[in-house]
A and B are shown apart, each in its own frame.
Chain A
Amino acid sequence: MQMMSSKPAGYAVKMQSTGFVHRLCCGTIIAVLALLVLSAEKSTGAQTTEEYRVEAAFLFHFAQLVDWPPDAQKGVDNSLLLCTIGDDPFQGALEETVAGKTVGNRIIHIRHLGEPQDMQACQIVFIGKTQSKHIPMLVASLHNAPVLTVGEAANFLAAGGMIRFVLEENRVRFEINLGAAESARLKIGSRLLVLAEHVVGEGPGK
Chain B
Amino acid sequence: MKPVPIRAVVCALVLSECMLLTARAQDKQTDLTALRIEDLMNIDVTSASKKEQKLSQVPAAIFVITQEDIRRSGATNIPDLLRMAPGLDVAQVTASIWAISARGFNGQYANTLLVLIDGRSVYTPVFSGVYWDAQAVPLDSIERIEIIRGPGAAIWGANAVDGVINIITKRAREMTGGLASGEGGTIDYGSGLVSYGGRLGGSGAYRVFADGLAMGQLLTFDHQGAQDDWHRAHGGFRIDTDLPRAQFLTVEGEGIRGNAGEVIPSIASISPPVNATVAVRDIFSEWSVLAQWRRAPSSRSEYTLQAYFDHGNRENVISSVDLSTFDLDFQRHAGWGQRQDIVWGLGFRINSDELATTVDTSFHPPQFTAQIYNAFLQDEIAVRPNRFYIHLGSKFEHEYYNGFNVQPTARISWTPSDKNMFWASISGAQSTPSQSDASIRYNIYVFPGPDNLPAIASLFGTASVANERLKAIEAGYRWGRSSVLSFDASAFFNQYRNLISQEPGTPVLEVSPAPEHWLFPTYISNRAHGETHGVELFAGVKLANRWTLNPGYAFLAMHLHPNADSADLTTPAEIAGGNPQQQAQLRSQVNLPGHWQWTTSAYFVGRLPYPRIPSYTRVDTNLTWQLLERISLGLVGQNLLKSVHPEFSGFDITENPSLMRRSGYARLTWRF
- Interface on A for B, CB 8 Å cutoff? 1-9, 11-13, 15, 17-19, 21-22, 25-26, 28-29, 32-33, 35-37, 39-40, 43-47, 49-51, 53-54, 56-58, 60-61, 65, 97-98, 101, 167, 170-173, 191-192, 194-195
Contact = CB atoms under 8 A, between A and B. Distances in A.
B129 interface: yes
B341 interface: no
Given A7-B653, A11-B649, A195-B37, A49 B45 contact: yes
14 contacts: A1-B108, A1-B127, A1-B436, A5-B502, A5-B574, A13-B614, A15-B645, A43-B482, A45-B482, A51-B47, A54-B43, A57-B40, A171-B42, A171-B45
Contact of A21 (B44, B174, B444, B617): B617
B419 to A, nearest CB: 9
Interface string B637-656: 00001100110010111100
Interface stretch (B323-331, B368-376, B483-491): B483-491
B233 to A, nearest CB: 28
A32 B43 contact: no
A25 B584 contact: yes
B652 A97 contact: no
Nearest to A25: B604
Given A6-B268, A13-B613, 7 more contacts: A2-B109, A21-B641, A33-B539, A33-B551, A50-B43, A170-B44, A194-B199
Contacts of A21: 617, 641
Contacts of A60: 33
Interface in B227-242: none
A150 to B, nearest CB: 14
Given A1-B436, A6-B654, A25 B541 contact: no
B604 A61 contact: no
Q: Which of B553, B571, B604, B649 has the most CB of A within 10 A?
A: B604
A1 B484 CA distance: 46
A45 B481 contact: yes
A58 B37 contact: yes
Contacts of A54: 32, 40, 43, 45
B551 A32 contact: yes
The 8 closest A-B pairs by CB, nearest first: A45-B482, A57-B32, A1-B109, A1-B127, A51-B45, A6-B444, A15-B614, A50-B45
Interface in B500-551: 500, 502, 524, 537, 539, 541, 549, 551
B3 A43 contact: no
B477 interface: no
A7 B267 CA distance: 10
B665 interface: no
Contact of B502 (A3, A7, A32, A40): A3
Contacts of B553: 29, 33
A142 to B, nearest CB: 25
A20 to B, nearest CB: 10
B615 A18 contact: yes
A9 B482 CA distance: 51
Nearest to B485: A43
Contacts of B574: 5
A49 B51 CA distance: 12
B76 interface: no
Contacts of B434: 1
A85 B43 CA distance: 26
A15 B110 contact: no
Q: In the complex, which of the residues B38, B652, B657 has the most CB atoms of chain A within 10 Å of its own CB atom? A: B652
A172 B652 contact: no
Given A43-B482, A45-B483, A4 B654 contact: yes
Nearest to B223: A14
Interface string B458-500: 0100000000000000000001111111010000000000001
A181 B242 CA distance: 29
Contacts of B28: 47, 53
Contact of B617 (A1, A18, A37, A46): A18
B74 to A, nearest CB: 19
A45 B25 CA distance: 13
A40 B444 contact: no
A97 to B, nearest CB: 6
A171 B485 contact: no
A50 B33 contact: no
B288 to A, nearest CB: 23
A97 B40 CA distance: 13
B24 to A, nearest CB: 12
B440 A1 contact: yes
A39 B485 CA distance: 9
Contacts of B541: 32, 35-36
Given A36-B539, A172-B40, A4 B48 contact: no
B617 to A, nearest CB: 5
A17 B537 contact: no
B616 A32 contact: no
- Most chain B CB within a 10 A radius of its CB, from A1, A17, A167, A194: A1
A40 B641 contact: no
Given A5-B444, A45-B481, A12 B32 contact: no
A6 to B, nearest CB: 4
A13 B436 CA distance: 31
B652 A3 contact: yes
B442 interface: yes
Interface in B607-639: 611-617
Nearest to A174: B41
Given A4-B652, A6-B445, A32 B539 contact: yes
B195 interface: no
A31 to B, nearest CB: 9
Interface in B415-465: 434, 436, 440, 442, 444-445, 459
Contacts of A65: 37
Nearest to B38: A195
A46 B651 CA distance: 52
B222 interface: yes
Contact of B652 (A1, A17, A195): A1
B186 to A, nearest CB: 21
A25 B617 contact: yes
A108 to B, nearest CB: 10
B644 to A, nearest CB: 9
A32 B41 contact: no
A21 B586 CA distance: 13
A180 to B, nearest CB: 20
